[in-house]
Every structure is written in structure tokens, then in C-alpha cells.
Amino acid sequence: MSKYSFLILSFFVILLVSSCKRHKMHKKEIVAVDTLDSQMMRTEKPVLLTEEVAKVKPSKDVPVVAKIDVKPAEIDFNYLNIKSKVNYVSTGSEEQSFPVNIHIKKDSIIWLSIVVGLEGARGIITKDSVIFLDRLHRTYYKYDFASLSKQFNFNINYDLVQSILIGNMPIKKRETDVVEKQEGSFVIKQKEGFVSIENSIAEANLKLQKVNASDETGDSKMEIDYSNFLAITDLIFPQDIRAKIDAKKDGRVVQTSINLQHNKIEALDQSPGFAFSIPKSYVPK
């Protein structure tokens, strides 16, 4: 495992964005499902869809426009314990694959640990910062979201990272977003700075299935696919997250693929633990 491998998962979101710039745990039942079928419909009640006719006085010159109102289904939880596998490959680099354990406290903390025999890296993501320990080289990396957002001219924050990891819309739906109806899905179109984003929402259960993003120049584009959903009581999680990124660098297109497979997901009522500290002997990088 390269000394930078442990950074790949933590910067799953940052890589996507930068490429487009340029006392006792109570475990809930987990049921695997292969497709968006009737079993999902029984575990999660779809939000009612409505079409509101815009209040425009009909005339020959001003047609009546129907507004589609759709509310994507989001995952709500207290704590999550996730065991995953990351596969990463980019043009000119060797393919890398490694396991990662993820603990999440909703809207607060994401804890990561990569163990290959021994723990090679540990990281923690909070509302303010991202910190990672490279145990192989006794160093650590520390970043804050404010600086990262300024660097990439895009609002990078904790909520964005959490949403992509669990399959919620990376940027929550806003009143100003454009919604279009397509066969079997709704497409929510958004604009964030220089990036155009399209979110594909399944009509059957209102879950996010695909995200497409591209910058204004068209030089960079990104696609995230969510599939192989898991039904956990009344929640539906994507087990497979696959990202494909094309970005121009030094006059050539660099292609990057990041696959994140959640092999085990537990929704918990109490904390799975978030132990983290920087040893005094570690050197900042």
C-alpha cells in the first residue's frame, strides 16, 4: 500500500470536486437486496410526489408551466459502523485496493481506519477539519474545510463527505433547482459555482442512483453510481459506490476510478467509538 493510499478514501469527495475544477450497541436487522423491487417498497415508504401548476395567468403568450415537486429519500441514523473495501486506479498509476473501517456519528464525526495486518492509517473528519495519521511513516496530515473550499473554489464541507459515503444527495435539493421527469426517474439539476450537477433519483423509492458533474469548460467530468442497495429496517443504503473521473492535466486526459464497496453496514443506537489522538513523535506533512 502506497503511503498516500490512506488519503484516497478521505478525499473521495475532494478528489471528485478538484477534478471538476479544474452502553450496549443495539444492531438493527440487515437484509440484502439486489434490485429496486417491491421488497424495498415495503421497507421504505416513498414520499408523495405532486405536480404543482405554477400560478401564471393563462394567455396566448404565457403558457402554464407544471412544476415537479420531488423529495429525495435520505438516510437518517444515530451512528453507523461500516466495513468497506476501496479500489483505486488512475492513469499512469498502479491499482490499489485496501479495506477500511468507518464509524459515523450523524452530522458530527467520520472515523476511518485502514488495517492490513496492522493498522496502517487512522483518520478523523469533523465539521471543521480532516486529520490523518500515517502510521507507516509516523507522520500526520491536517486540513481545514475553509482552506480546501477556497483552494478549489467550491464549498467542500463535512456534510458533502458524509452524504457521498452513505448515498444521500451531495448537495441537498433547493427550491431553485430544476427538476425534470424521465422514464423511471427524476433528474434534479443544480449549479454550484463553476460546476453543473445532475442527480438521478429513482421513481420507485426516491433514492439517489447517479450523480453527474462537469465544469464550465467541459474539460473535466465526474460520474458517481450507487447500486446494490441494502435494506436496513426502514432505511435503504447503497452497497456499491463507483466514481469515474476524467480531468485534463498537462494537456492530456487523466482517468481515475474509485470504487467503494460497503461489505457490512450496521445502524447503531450508541457510539461504536471514535478514539483518535496525534502521537507527540509524529511529524506534520
- Chain centre distance of CA 101: 16
Please tell me the pTM assigned to this model. Answer: 0.78
Q: Is the pLDDT of residue 46 over 80?
A: no
| Cα dist from 102 to 88, 147, 170, 225, 262, whole Å | 17, 25, 18, 20, 10
pLDDT, residue 161, reads 87
Segment 153-191, tens digit of pLDDT: 667 789 988 998 899 998 999 999 999 999 999 999 999
CATH topology of domain 5-52+63-276+280-284: outer membrane lipoprotein receptor (LolB), chain A (2.50.20)
Alpha helix ranges (H) inside the chain: 5-10, 12-19, 38-43, 145-152, 158-166
Q: Is the pLDDT of residue 58 over 60?
A: no
Q: Report residue 236 as a C-alpha cell.
A: 435503504
Q: What is the mean pLDDT of residues 235-239?
A: 90
Phi-psi region of 204 (alpha: psi -120 to 50; beta: other; left: phi over 0): alpha
In sequence order, what DSSP letters do the residues of 160-193 get, joined into one string? HHHHHHHTS-SS---TTSEEEEETTEEEEEEEET
Q: How far apart are CA 161 and CA 110, in angstroms?
A: 9
Segment 90-136, tens digit of pLDDT: 887 778 888 889 999 999 999 999 888 888 889 999 999 889 898 88
